[in-house]
Amino acid sequence: MQRVLIANRGEIALRVIRACRKAGLETVAVYSEPDANSPHIWVADTAVCIGPAPPLQSYLNGDAILHVAKAESCDAIHPGYGFLAENAAFATACEDNGVTFIGPSAASIHTMGDKAEARRAAIRLGVPVVPGSKDSFVDSQAASDAVSDIGFPILLKARSGGGGRGMRVVENAAAFEGQFRQATAEAAAAFGDGGVYLERYFSRVRHIEVQVLGDGTGQAVHLWERDCSTQRRHQKLVEEALSPVLDAATREAICAAAVSLTGGINYRGAGTVEFLYDPAANEFYFIEMNTRIQVEHPVTEMLTGIDLVAEQLCIADGRSLSFDTPPPPSGHAIEFRINAEDPARNFQPSPGRIEEWRPPTGRGIRLDSHVYPGYHVPTFYDSLLGKLIVHGADRPDALAKSKLALSRFAVSGVETTIPFHLELLDDPDFQTGNIHTGWVEARAE
């Protein structure tokens, strides 16, 4: 590889461009009209506008992105996360046009992107799965026939995509049809696929994900787990590693299960295998695999010292990983998502012009962001302004450093989630790790 097009925007585009530059690769940025003043287009060697604000006419326009890649003599495309990162058709189109897709094969994306197919793969490889339907559904009657084998409460999940879209909890049979229709409609609007599948719903579980890397030939390695249990409406707010609740034996078992699945499907590149963990029973269940780099990948980088984007580039270029076995985890790392949202108004989006932007600095503090004073937060895309990642000698040290860093993070012009994070850090349950995936909502009631 010599020249890489970055098919994304915001902080992840900037992050990938910097990794490419460090690897000696030229970069081409693409941007929509509202992103004309985004830093990633200044840092890249070349930048090309690909269309107006709507994602379908810009960042989701695979034909336009491929056209730019070929016109600019790019031999690879890095999709970042979101947009086209988990689009099997786009991965196939890249390969058909002689452009390396810096990610897994289209077959892996298809298998893991279809939640029902992913469950079948996990079962075949001996990975425990959440009790649920064998197939996905678009018809409520057919779906309701499968409920009796699972039992209420039921979790409806979109067959394609993630991020909480197309997801509904159904408490009883009377609510099933209405919730099913809402889930299929939301899934169809978000992913162009209204199919959903059914899972047993657990009310007090944790969300544990294992970072994995595969070489595409059946060899895979893990880089430990991240605990993503602090969520709101199935959207992650805080991620940390290692998980404060896993014992050594469970950690070994869950990481081994992730490696078994990754190697078993000949996965290539970076990904995460996601599990529900029931602390009361000390049991874990596979729920899905994200076939891309994650928003929260810096947590693992701070924990292990491994540059995950650099490893993606190596794998895509046909080279070996820089390590054979997981490096021992060092200390504790926590990531706080700084969004342009108003916690006092039910996290209502807060677009506008950034007047002041003074992030904290210091040892063990990292900020991944594309924001600067004068930057205008658009209404068309995700509200993420940046990710504050804090590393400490252990979890109490990381929490103490986090509180100091967040209290020194000065932002004005838009509302942010910083006050929410400071509130979390003062909560005794969060301090002790006594939380679950529904804890944030329960705490607000």
Q: What is the pLDDT of residue 66?
A: 98
Euclidean distance between CA atoms 367 and 360, whole angstroms: 8
Residues 194 and 218 in one domain: no
Q: Which of 176, 200, 224 is the last residue of a domain?
A: 200
> Does 124 reside within a domain?
no
- Residue pLDDT, tens place only, 66-98: 999 999 999 999 999 999 999 999 999 999 999
**Whether residue 242 has pLDDT greater than 80:** yes
> Does 120 reside within a domain?
no
Average pLDDT over residues 156-167: 81
Q: Which of 180, 200, 220 is the last residue of a domain?
A: 200
Cα dihedral 18, 19, 22, 24 in deg (nearest 10): -100
Q: What is the pLDDT of residue 227?
A: 98
Average pLDDT over residues 293-318: 97
Euclidean distance between CA atoms 293 and 9, whole angstroms: 14
Average pLDDT over residues 311-320: 95
Helices 62-71 and 88-96 pack at an angle, to 10 degrees, of: 30
Q: What is the pLDDT of residue 264?
A: 97
**Whether residue 311 has pLDDT greater than 80:** yes
When the pLDDT of each residue in the chain is averaged and rounded to a whole number, the result is 95
**45 neighbors 333 (Cβ within 8 angstroms):** no
Q: Which of 200, 218, 238 is the last residue of a domain?
A: 200
**Whether residue 163 has pLDDT greater than 70:** no
CATH number for position 9: 3.40.50.20
Q: What is the pLDDT of residue 310?
A: 97
pLDDT-derived band at 134 (thresholds 50, 70, 90) equals confident
> Does 125 reside within a domain?
no
Place of tokens 């979790």: 155
> Does 190 reside within a domain?
yes
Euclidean distance between CA atoms 264 and 285, whole angstroms: 17
**Whether residue 337 has pLDDT greater than 90:** yes
Q: Is the peptide bond before 242 cis (omega within 30 degrees of 0)?
A: yes
- Widest Cα–Cα separation across the chain: 60
Residues in CB range of 285: below 8 A, 6 or more apart: 128, 129, 130, 275, 276, 277, 278
> Does 77 reside within a domain?
yes
> Does 438 reside within a domain?
yes
- Residue pLDDT, tens place only, 409-422: 999 999 999 999 99
Burial class from Cβ neighbours inside 10 Å (0-12, 13-18, 19+) for residue 437 reads buried
Average pLDDT over residues 142-162: 85
Count how many domains the chain has.
3
> Does 167 reside within a domain?
yes
Q: What are phi and psi of 30, to 5 degrees?
A: -120, 155
Residues 232 and 351 in one domain: yes
Average pLDDT over residues 423-431: 97
**40 neighbors 9 (Cβ within 8 angstroms):** yes
pLDDT-derived band at 165 (thresholds 50, 70, 90) equals confident
CATH number for position 316: 3.30.470.20
Q: What is the pLDDT of residue 15?
A: 98
Residues 142 and 212 in one domain: no
CATH number for position 196: 3.30.1490.20
Catalytically active residues are 292
- Residue pLDDT, tens place only, 174-198: 999 999 999 999 988 888 888 998 9
- Residue pLDDT, tens place only, 375-394: 999 999 999 999 999 999 99
Residues 325 and 416 in one domain: yes
pLDDT-derived band at 333 (thresholds 50, 70, 90) equals very high
Residues 81 and 176 in one domain: no
Give the per-residue SS3 of the chain: CCEEEECCCHHHHHHHHHHHHHCCCEEEEEEEHHHCCCCHHHHCCEEEEEECCCHHHCCCCHHHHHHHHHHCCCCEEECCCCCCCCCHHHHHHHHHCCCEECCCCHHHHHHHHCHHHHHHHHHHCCCCECCECCCCECCHHHHHHHHCCCCCCEEEEECCCCCCCCCEEECCHHHHHHHHHHHHHHHHHHHCCCCEEEEECCCCCEEEEEEEEEECCCCEEEEEEEEEEEEECCEEEEEEECCCCCCHHHHHHHHHHHHHHHHHCCCEEEEEEEEEEECCCCEEEEEEEECCCCCCHHHHHHHHCCCHHHHHHHHHCCCCCCCCCCCCCCCEEEEEEEECEEHHHCCEECCEECCEEECCCCCCEEEEECCCCCCEECCCCCCEEEEEEEEECCHHHHHHHHHHHHHCCEEECCCCCHHHHHHHHCCHHHHHCCCCCCHHHHHHC
Question: What's the domain range around 76?
Answer: 3-102
Q: What is the pLDDT of residue 45?
A: 98
Token output for 226: 């991240």
Euclidean distance between CA atoms 153 and 59, whole angstroms: 37
